[in-house]
Amino acid sequence: MTEDNLEQLVPDLLNASWSSNSIIKITDIFEKQNSQTISAFISVSLNSVLAIEHWAWQMLSKDSNSWINIDSCAQVFHILHSFNMKLISHNDEIQADTKISLLIPSNITWIDGLLEQIESSSDTFLTLAGLWIETLSHLAHQLPDIVFTPTMQHLNNRLSRDFLMTNQYKFYLKQLCETNLLQSIFTVKQHFYLQTCSLSLSVHLWSKSQNFPFTGEQIIKFLNEDYSKMILVHSHTMHSWSSELLSCVADY
């Protein structure tokens, strides 16, 4: 499909008047992009892609109950996330400024709106929210200087204050200190705390940014006992780690 086709579909998406047919067409366009086509696609369709990226953040920032159970809408987010990861990994011809403009939200209220829904949202929303935050962390691995932008500093400050340095985070970490882990402890919300927030923290600390609400010493003091116990308990059973346990500890 051409830029004209995508451009014609964008208004339906922005006006929340999408039909199954238009959703299928949009997902098909993004799903077909690969390492050979993505540069040309971005060059030709930049304005439409930017509008869709902003739409995604706006949708995630408002009451998700109005759309989260629409299967076709959730599918767009998963396809768009896959496209965004391809965009990040594509290092030829796509300028860093283009990636930044597409992936970093232009309004910090979108970040606040997303984070304020975490404690009361559905698993589907938590999954999508985690994917969008993790996308920014992966972008920061490739473009470390973005952690110094006001938007990324705001995101990391909120993640650290509201999720990482909290009793809820320690509760999830303590769950992993048991020798025999029940499958039932691995929830989507636990994943958000232990993987999404930890990945964001690791990127921020790796950048050695000074604009952070907690010092390294404070973080270590808060998490060290439980983290050390978790490592001690599971260090001799790595061969039998479940994929869920591995995903929880991979970003520490």
Q: Are residues 83 and 130 in the same domain?
A: no
- Number of structural domains (the chain) is 2
> pLDDT digits over 65-122, tens only?
878 887 778 888 999 999 999 999 987 789 999 999 999 999 999 999 999 999 988 9
> pLDDT digits over 150-167, tens only?
999 899 889 989 999 999
| 168 within a domain of the structure (yes/no) | yes
Q: Are residues 234 and 148 in the same domain?
A: yes
> pLDDT digits over 164-221, tens only?
999 999 999 998 888 887 888 889 999 899 888 887 777 766 666 667 778 878 888 9
Q: Are residues 187 and 234 in the same domain?
A: yes
Taking residues 5-29, what's their average pLDDT?
80
Q: Are residues 94 and 202 in the same domain?
A: no
Q: Are residues 89 and 132 in the same domain?
A: no
Q: Are residues 7 and 62 in the same domain?
A: yes
Q: Are residues 230 and 182 in the same domain?
A: yes
pTM for this structure? 0.88
Residue of higher predicted confidence among 112 and 236: 112
Taking residues 141-155, what's their average pLDDT?
90
| 109 within a domain of the structure (yes/no) | no
> pLDDT digits over 34-58, tens only?
989 999 999 999 999 999 999 999 9
Which domain does 34 fall in, by range?
1-103
Q: What integer pLDDT is reported at residue 74 of this predicted model?
A: 84
| 111 within a domain of the structure (yes/no) | no
Long-range contacts of the stretch 160-167 (C-beta < 8 A, 24+):
160/197, 160/201, 160/204, 160/212, 160/213, 160/214, 161/213, 162/115, 163/118, 163/192, 163/193, 163/197, 164/193, 164/197, 164/198, 164/201, 164/219, 165/214, 165/218, 165/219, 165/222
Q: Are residues 248 and 178 in the same domain?
A: yes
